[in-house]
Structure 1
Amino acid sequence: MAQVTIYSSDYCPYCQRAKALLRARGVTAWDEINVDGRPEVRAEMAQRVGRTSVPQIFINGQHVGGCDDLHALDARGGLVPLLQAG
């Protein structure tokens, strides 16, 4: 299974939607980096991806974007192959 990393917030409905989709596609564990109350971590994420919003999702080290990007990748049929490539 793929290595998944998610920058997230406990209060973010988009983070919950993204994690629900990953679970539906068979992902049972991921590295979660919580940005709540940690401006230095959010700044590190922004430096890494050029965005300040969460979630920001990486699969096998590849940035796939946020929740909408993840759902669009799935709709195009690209999420499962990416997850299986791990």
Structure 2
Amino acid sequence: MQHVKIYTTGTCPYCIRAKQLLAERGVTQLEEIRVDLAPQRRAEMAEITGRRTVPQIFIGGTHVGGCDDLMALDARGGLTPLLQGD
């Protein structure tokens, strides 16, 4: 299973949904970075991704994007292979 990193806030419904989908696909551990608790990490996220919205999801070295991007990747059958490192 690939390393999963997700930038979130505590109250974001899209963050919650993205974490639920990842759990449904077998992710048991992820690195969650709460940008509401560490504002400097939001700046880091924006610099890396070019986006300021959460969630921002990385699987392995791949920037997946936000919740809608994650759901679209899953819908076209690409999420599980990415998680497995295929």
Instruction: Give the TM-score range, shorter chain.
Output: over 0.9
TM-score w.r.t. the length of structure 1 is 0.96
Equivalent positions of 1:2-81 (< 5 A) are 2-81=2-81
TM-score, normalization by structure 2: 0.96
Partner Cα separation in structure 1 for residue 31 and residue 72 of structure 2: 22
Separation in 1 of the partners of 2:35 and 2:75?
A: 28
How many residues are matched? 86
Moved over 2 A (4+): none
Q: Residues 8-30 of structure 1: CA distance to partner in whole angstroms, max 9, x if unpaired?
A: 00010000000000000000010
- Counterpart residue identity of residue 19, structure 1: K
Uncovered stretches (5+) of structure 1, i.e. residues with no partner = none
Unaligned stretches of 5+ in structure 2? none
CA 50–25 in structure 1, closer or farther in 2 if over 3 Å, else same: same
Aligned partners of 1:64 and 1:37: how far apart in 2?
23
| % same residue | 65
RMSD (CA atoms): 1.0
